[in-house]
């Protein structure tokens, strides 16, 4: 049985934290549509009978009716494909949600918060989702598969092996418990990093976010294509996001002014299919005005610059000052001479001390 498994598209998300560049959020929302078109075309061309969408398909706060209509129109183009959606924490099954009030195409099934099953000739498909922005359902603990001899699929949105208190608010799922239930495949969403081949014969899978939402989601993004039979599972990752996010570090310790820094950044070899974040590191010899620096950058695909540098002090000169700062530096330098193996610790102490003294 062949299927496509996707999750965490976050249609119509605002992308407000991505960059301060004008209209990039609009561009990325178009990228979302382009990626979803690729998914639908793949299903058409390969005659895939099942599409699993494991939550956070859209943003409840921002989603537009026109986007829902656009999605449903694409669903109509694959009438022979059964589509199963489980709501997540960003698109919960609320009274006023489009999951509840919109008239979806007849090939679409949307699970609510109660664990239920849709029985097909070749497979039983179970699912449940969020009915609020937080969810701690434990129905799976006492659940038993109805037809063990058939293929059995579970679709949900949640946190596998939740450890922190916050993680436990997002449908915590025990990996061992879910393995013991005997599902042939578990289609998860919520974690934006792909996880489908970290161990042999892996049946519990995160496809990651379909389209990258920013610089905390590096690498390729797309969908999982699967072919499952009893005791046999073949999985393949198919990228569908046209853009990739990349972080480049630039050590500015030897850079003398803002113009030189801008020239270095503008000389970076840029790929058109990538968005770049520049991380400035090292010791700075001048104050960095990020607003002015951004205006000097000519490459449109450099969309974010972050300053992680620390001020480059002349410690010998400072140690001769007849001030509290001078006494502090003199003491630290003496300790660095006595304990050279701890220089990094003392350097951090200097940085913290300077921050406090300059307040």
The per-residue pLDDT for range 293-350, each reduced to its tens digit, is 999 999 889 999 999 998 887 778 888 888 888 888 888 888 888 888 888 888 888 8
- C-alpha dist (Å) from residue 40 to 35, 91, 221: 9, 21, 16
Average pLDDT over residues 115-131: 95
- H or E, element range at 222: strand 222-229
Going from the C-alpha of 161 to that of each of 10, 164, 172, 204, 288, the distances in angstroms are 23, 10, 7, 12, 43
Nearest to 327 by CA among 315, 337, 336: 315
Please compute, for residue 345, the number of CA atoms within 13 A of its CA located in the half-sphere on the CB side: 7
To which residue do tokens 């289609």 refer? 187
CA-to-CA distance for 156 and 164, rounded, in angstroms? Answer: 20
Please provide the DSSP assignment of 195-211 as one string: BSSSSTT--EEB---SS
| Cβ pair 223, 4 in contact under 8 A | yes
DSSP-derived pairing of the beta strands 116-119 and 108-110: unpaired
Q: What is the pLDDT of residue 157?
A: 96
% pLDDT > 90, the chain:
70
> For the segment 188-201, what is each residue's pLDDT rounded down to a tens digit?
999 999 999 888 88
Q: How many C-beta neighbours within 10 Å does residue 96 have? A: 8
Examine the pLDDT at 49 and tell me if it is beyond 90. yes
């Amino acid at each position: 049985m062949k299927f496509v498994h996707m999750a965490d598209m976050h249609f119509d998300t605002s992308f407000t934290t991505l960059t301060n560049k004008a209209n990039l959020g609009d561009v990325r929302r178009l990228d979302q549509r382009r990626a979803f078109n690729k998914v639908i075309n793949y299903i058409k061309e390969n005659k895939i009978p099942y599409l699993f969408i494991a939550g956070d398909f859209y943003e409840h706060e921002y989603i537009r009716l026109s986007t829902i209509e656009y999605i449903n129109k694409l669903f109509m183009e694959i009438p022979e494909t059964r589509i199963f959606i489980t709501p997540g924490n960003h698109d919960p099954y609320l009274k006023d949600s489009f999951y509840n009030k919109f008239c979806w195409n007849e090939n679409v099934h949307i699970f609510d918060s109660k664990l239920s099953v849709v029985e097909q000739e070749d497979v039983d498909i179970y699912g449940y989702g969020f009915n609020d922005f937080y969810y701690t359902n434990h129905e799976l603990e006492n659940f038993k598969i109805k037809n063990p001899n058939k293929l059995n699929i579970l679709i949900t949105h949640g946190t596998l092996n939740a450890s922190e208190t916050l993680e436990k608010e997002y449908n915590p799922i025990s990996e061992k418990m879910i393995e013991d239930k005997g599902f042939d495949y578990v289609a998860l969403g919520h974690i934006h990093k792909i996880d489908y081949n970290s161990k042999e014969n892996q049946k519990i899978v995160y496809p990651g976010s379909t389209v990258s939402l920013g610089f905390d989601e590096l690498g390729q993004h797309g969908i999982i294509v699967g072919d499952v039979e009893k005791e046999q599972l073949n999985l393949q990752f198919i990228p569908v996001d046209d853009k990739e996010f990349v972080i480049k570090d630039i050590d500015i310790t030897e850079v003398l002014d803002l113009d030189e820094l801008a020239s270095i950044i503008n000389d970076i070899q840029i790929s058109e299919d990538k968005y770049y974040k520049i991380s400035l590191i090292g010791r700075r010899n001048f104050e960095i005005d990020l607003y002015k620096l951004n205006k000097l950058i000519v490459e449109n695909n450099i969309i974010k610059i972050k300053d992680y540098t620390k001020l480059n002090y002349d410690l010998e000169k400072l140690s001769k000052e007849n001030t509290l700062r001078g006494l502090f530096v003199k003491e630290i330098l003496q300790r660095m001479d006595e304990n050279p193996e701890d220089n990094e610790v003392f350097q951090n102490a200097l940085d913290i001390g300077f921050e406090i003294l300059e307040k």
